[in-house]
Amino acid sequence: MADDHSERMFPTRPLAGVGAVVWDGARLLLEQRGQEPARGLWAVPGGLIELGETAEDAVRREVREECGIDVTVGPLLGLFEPVQRDPDDRIRYHYVVIDFLAYYRSGTLRVGDDAADVRWVAPADLAQYEMLPATRAMIDRALAHLNGETAKR
């Protein structure tokens, strides 16, 4: 469900969201942000949790809306808490984002509602994509988890 994002800027409280590091067995899904904050940077798909929605349901919905694919939600990877202030030190954005590892299940990748671009990227090619350090850290956490899964097999 797309919205006008008006209550996201200068919020009265932190906003709860989710993110998904999506793995297709060989590549990760990156989304170029089409909205502030961080417009133009590469990130993992995600968005706000809707009232009455679980975090895992929000992951599935957001990935479908932004990227056109269905995923199976895997383990919790961590918490990302971006706070951005304006020049007057007022809080412009404040999110609490729960990031999950997710696995591609079906569908054809396409650019959806909040994204400027989406693409599958091999782990070796990640350095070519400008992203926040916290995004890269969460992706690295997911890759470490995935490498642990492979080692157990």
Q: Each residue of 12-24: pLDDT tens digit?
A: 889 999 999 999 9
Residues in the chain: 153
Share of the chain above pLDDT 90, in %: 72
32-75, pLDDT tens digit by residue?
988 877 889 999 999 999 999 999 999 999 999 999 999 999 99
**C-alpha span between 4 and 41 (Å, rounded):** 20
| pLDDT higher at 128 or 148 | 128
User: Residue 96 contacts by C-beta under 8 Å, 6 or more apart in sequence?
Assistant: 14, 15, 16, 17, 79, 81
124-138, pLDDT tens digit by residue?
999 999 999 999 999
Q: Which two structure tokens, joined as six digits, stand for 98?
A: 């729960």
CATH topology assigned to domain 18-152: Nucleoside Triphosphate Pyrophosphohydrolase (3.90.79)
Q: Which two structure tokens, joined as six digits, stand for 61?
A: 């919905």
Q: What's the pLDDT score for residue 1?
A: 41
**Amino acid, res. 22:** V
**C-alpha span between 36 and 82 (Å, rounded):** 12
Domain ranges for the chain, please list them.
18-152
